[in-house]
Chains A and B, each alone.
Chain A
Amino acid sequence: MNEARTVTEEPPAAKGRPSGTMDFEEFVAARSTALWRSAYLLTGDPHKAEDLLQTALVKAWRRWDSITRREAAESYVRAAIATTYTDWWRRRWNGEVPTDDLPDAAAPGGGEAAGVEVRRDVLLALARLPRGQRAVVVLRFFDDLTEQQTAAALGVSIGTVKSQTSRALAALRTSPLFATETGDQR
C-alpha cells in the first residue's frame, strides 16, 4: 500500500475550517504513534493495533468538522479506541488462535533478550485480564488518564474504573514479573 503516502482527500468539512485549527493529517502525524502504542498494549499485536487505531481514526475523520481542538480530537480517538476494543470481540474475535507461548520478537541474547522477555511477560499478564480491566490498565497507567477521564473514555462510572483497576492490579500481582520486581520496592 505504498501508494498511500499522500493524502488526496480532506475529511468532511475540512476545507471550511477556520485558520489555526488542526488538519487531520497534522493530528495523525503528531499523535498516531502514541495512540498506536496504546492500541498495541490493548491488542498485544502490532497489526491488530493498526487495525484498531485506523478504525478509531476513521470515526474521527468522519466527524472532523465538529472536532476543533487537538485535545478534543485525542480524547475522541482514545475513547473510540477503548470502546471499539471492548466491543470488538463480538464481531472480530474470530481468528484469535491460542497458543501456550507468545512468540519472541528476537533471539535471546544480552539486553535485547531481556527486553523481549519483559515484553512477553507483560503481554502474557495483560492477555489474562478481561478486556475491561485491560483497557483500564492501559488508559490509567500508560495513557496517564485520570479516573474521571478513563470513565468517560470507556463510558462507565468512576466506581467501575476503581473496581476494575483494583481487580486488574490484584491479577497482575500474580505475574512473576510484577511480583518479583515490585516486591522489594514497595
Chain B
Amino acid sequence: MTTENDHLRDLLQRTAPDRPELEPGARAAAVARRGRAARLRDRGLVAGAAVAVLAAAIAVPLSLGGDDGPDVATQPPAPTAPRCPTGTIEVGPLPSLPSLDDVVSVRSCPAAWSGAGPAAQTDPLPTAPLVGDAAAAFAEDVAALPVYAVSDQCALISVMPEPWALVVTTSDGDTAVLGSTMRFCSAVTVGGTERGAGDVLAAFEGNLERQRAGIPDLSCPTSDRLAEGAPTWNASFDPSTATAGVACYRGDPSGRLEYAGTAGELSAEQLAVVRDDLAANLGPSTENGMCVDSGPQLLVILEDAEGDQAAYVDEACTGEFVGARGYWVPGPAAADAIADALGGRVRG
C-alpha cells in the first residue's frame, strides 16, 4: 500500500529533471574558478590586471551572484499568490490579525468603505503580489515597526478616507485581510499591537520594489529627492549590524550649501559613531512642527554584511531623520561624522 510519504517521494522524483544542462566536468571547472576568485578576494589580491583577467574569465553569466555566480544565465522562479476576490473588500471595521507568521503571499485588492464622507482620489496600490520570502520579509518589517502613536500632525489635519486592503495568505492556504479606511493617521492591529497604516503600506510597497528590482548597490540616489526609493521602510534592519554606509546631501534650492560634497562613504570610524548614535537616539519623534517643502536634504543609507539596507532621511526638516524604526536626531559626534563623510562643512 502506498503511504502518503511514499507518494510525496514519488512526486518529488517525477518533478526533479533527470539531469542539468551543465556537464559535471564543466561544473567542476566553474567551481574551481569561483573558488580561486573567492580565495584571491579573501587574500586581498584582487587588484589591477589580475581583476581584469579574472573578470574576463567569469564575467558574463554571473547575473545572480557577482563573483560567485553560476556558469549559466539565471531566470526568475515563479511563485504565486491567490487572485483578489470579485468586487471590493469592505474595510471598516476589520477584525485584527492575530499574526503575520507563516505568510506566503500578500496582495493589494480593491477596497471600499461604506462610511460617511467622500473618499480621496489617490493613486492605487500596486497589484503585483508579494510572495514567498518577500512576503515573509514584509511580515518581519511589520513586526519590527514601532507601536503606532497619533502624531501632532494628525491631530491638526483632517484626513479623507483612502480605503485599502491587503489580502494575506498563509502556508496552509488561509487568507485574511489587513486594511483600513485611511492610509495615514490610522493604525491596523496585528498580533494585538497597533502599527501605523502608512508604515505598513510603505513596507508593502518597499518590499514589492525590492522583489521586482532587487537590492541596489550601496550608493547615493541620483534623483533630486533623496527619499525617493530609499529603503526608509525597512524596519527589520538592525542598525547595530551595519557594516557599511553612505551619506547623501542635496543643498537648499536657493543655492546655499552646507557641505562640500553631495555623497560620501562613511569610514569605519564614522560608521561606528553613527551606529552608536542610532542605538542611543533612535526613537519617538521630537519634532512637533510640519516639514517644509523645500530645503536641504540629508540621507544616510546603512548596509549589513548580508547586503540588506535601510535608510534614514532628513527631508527638508529640522535636523531630524526618519526611518522605519522611528526618528533620529544625530548627536554632535554623529553629525560631525556625516559632515566629514560629505567632505566637511562649508564655512561662511
Contacts and interface: CB of A to CB of B under 8 A. Distances in A.
Interface in B25-39: 25-36, 38-39
Contacts of B34: 54-55, 58
Given A29-B28, A46-B17, A94-B210, A1 B78 contact: no
Given A54-B70, A58-B68, A119-B14, A4 B212 contact: no
A89 B78 contact: no
Given A123-B15, A182-B7, A101 B72 contact: no
A167 B171 CA distance: 9
A15 interface: no
B110 to A, nearest CB: 17
A107 interface: no
A32 B1 CA distance: 33
Interface stretch (B46-54, B125-133, B145-153, B156-164): B125-133
Interface stretch (B79-87, B324-332, B336-344): B79-87
A48 B74 CA distance: 6
A37 B22 CA distance: 12
Interface size class on chain B is 35 or more
Per DSSP, chain A at the interface is helix
Contacts of B8: 137, 141, 169, 172, 178
Contacts of A94: 210-211, 213-215
Contacts of B211: 93-94, 96-98
Contacts of B28: 7, 24-25, 28-29, 32, 57
B77 A96 contact: yes
A113 interface: no
B143 to A, nearest CB: 15
A32 B27 contact: yes
A71 interface: no
A126 B265 CA distance: 41
A65 interface: no
Contact of A93 (B5, B31, B104, B134): B134
B16 A51 contact: no
Q: Which of B13, B16, B134 has the most CB of A within 10 A?
A: B16
A53 B27 contact: yes
A119 B15 CA distance: 4
Nearest to A4: B29
B123 to A, nearest CB: 21
B4 interface: yes
A175 to B, nearest CB: 9
Contact of B29 (A5, A144, A170): A5
Given A98-B211, A169-B4, A178-B11, A44 B31 contact: no
Contacts of B70: 47-48, 50-51, 54
A127 interface: yes
Q: Which of A7, A87, A96, A102 has the most CB of B within 10 A?
A: A96
Interface size class on chain A is 35 or more
Nearest to A89: B133
A51 B74 contact: yes
B24 to A, nearest CB: 4
Nearest to A185: B2
Interface in A87-129: 87, 89-103, 115, 118-119, 122-124, 127-129
A4 B71 contact: yes
A7 B25 contact: yes
A74 B132 CA distance: 28
Contact of A96 (B20, B27, B79): B79
Nearest to A143: B12
Nearest to A62: B35
B308 to A, nearest CB: 6
B135 to A, nearest CB: 9
A135 interface: no
B74 A133 contact: no
A86 to B, nearest CB: 10
Interface string A148-186: 000000000000000000011111101001100110011
B7 A122 contact: no
Q: Which of A43, A57, A169 has the most CB of B within 10 A?
A: A57
A115 to B, nearest CB: 7
A19 interface: no
B38 A58 contact: yes
Contacts of A95: 64, 74, 76, 214
A170 B171 CA distance: 9
B345 to A, nearest CB: 36
Contact of B15 (A41, A49, A172): A41
B137 interface: yes
Closest 10 CB pairs of A and B: A94-B214, A51-B70, A89-B133, A4-B29, A37-B16, A28-B28, A97-B76, A61-B35, A122-B15, A29-B24
Given A58-B38, A185-B4, 11 more contacts: A7-B28, A25-B28, A28-B25, A28-B31, A47-B74, A51-B70, A97-B212, A122-B15, A127-B77, A167-B102, A167-B172
